[in-house]
Amino acid sequence: MAYWRWGDARAAHVVVCVHGLTRQGRDFDSLAQALLRQRPSGLQVICPDVVGRGRSDWLSEAGGYQLPQYAADMLALLAQVQAGVGASQPLHSLDWVGTSMGGLIGMVLAGQPGLPLPVPIRRLVLNDVGPAITWASVQRMQAYVGQYGQYRDLDEVADVLRGLSQGFGPVPATLWREMSQHMTRPGKEGALTLHYDPAIGVNLRAMTPEIASAGEAALWALYDQIQAHTLLIRGEDSDLLAPETAMSMTARGPRAQLQVWPGFGHAPTLTGDEQTAAVSRFLLDV
């Protein structure tokens, strides 16, 4: 599993930022830079490419693309980060920022007290995700995840991704093009294609309302055990995180602090100044 590190590799305050289903770790470039402007020393920001995405390896079996595998990979990553900090200065703060799928992985880790984390997750940011996900959003993802082809150039890739990402909110064209560059790998005959293993969509397309309901019950059980101070961000127009789910999350478990962001759906990119400032204030008390 590849990952991107910002800041001091020996810093004992670690913020892990984990992307959504079809994205990759470079989505958090803007947020990582904003955090380090606020805390230029004593902080490292780790942004992994979840297995099957970005520069990480692809699994030989599509059935492995599920939350238990992702959570186990993150435990291995955090053990490596702890080893880099050194035994003489163990981690003192571990925070988690998770967009969509990345938030679900964070819930799995924060909601099981017996897991071998270096330290418990202190602060948890859930970006437009909760234990209950609307069936309409699952159907939307079933229609496009893994269904991609070959593209002439980066401009075509950026246009295609923009069409799939209306809920991301306003992102300047130059930044969107830069973000889209990290979403590609070489294709056939000089073309570009998307960076992720199409097999990540296999389990998603096999999902039924009954399977989704069972998974929801398990995730609520994890959420109710979370001790981390939790910020829940909901895009006002989100088709994935329903308003009633968000309100329930403020009343149970960690009793998340809820922010509803107008002009966004699923899911805010956390790239604009106001977005990064909101996350920085929550994580760094600035």
pLDDT in tens, 88-119: 678 899 999 999 999 999 999 999 999 999 99
The domain of 254 spans 3-134+209-284
For residues 6-29, average pLDDT: 97
| CATH number of the domain to which 85 belongs | 3.40.50.1820
Q: Does residue 147 fall inside a structural domain? A: no
Q: What is the pLDDT of residues 189-207, one digit of tens each?
A: 899 999 999 999 999 999 9
Place of tokens 């075509």: 156
In-domain check, residue 164 = no
Q: Which of 76, 62, 151, 154 is nearest to 116 (CA)?
A: 76
Per-residue model confidence (pLDDT) at position 278 = 98
**Total count of domains within the chain:** 1
Q: Which two tokens stand for residue 185?
A: 């790998």
Residue 179 lies in a domain: no
Reduced to 3 states (helix: H, G, I; strand: E, B; else coil), residue 242 is coil
CA 122/CA 138 separation, integer angstroms: 30
CB 261 within 8 A of CB 15: no
What is each CA distance from 2 to 8, 33, 112, 124, 139, in whole angstroms? 18, 19, 25, 22, 29
Give a yes or no: residue 236 inside a domain: yes
On whether residue 220 sits in a domain, the answer given is: yes
H or E element: which one contains 203? Answer: helix 202-205
Cα separation of 279 and 159, whole Å? Answer: 28
- Do the domain assignments include residue 187? no
Residue 174 lies in a domain: no
In a domain, 171, yes or no: no
Q: How far apart are CA 124 and CA 126, in angstroms?
A: 6
What is the structure's pLDDT at 94? 97
pLDDT tens-digit readout, 198-234: 999 999 999 999 999 999 999 999 999 999 999 999 9
Alpha-carbon gap, residue 84 to 64, rounded angstroms: 28
List Cα–Cα distances, 257 to 125, 129, 155, in angstroms. 10, 13, 38
Classify burial at 196, counting beta carbons within 10 Å of its beta carbon; exposed 0-12, middle 13-18, buried 19 or more: buried
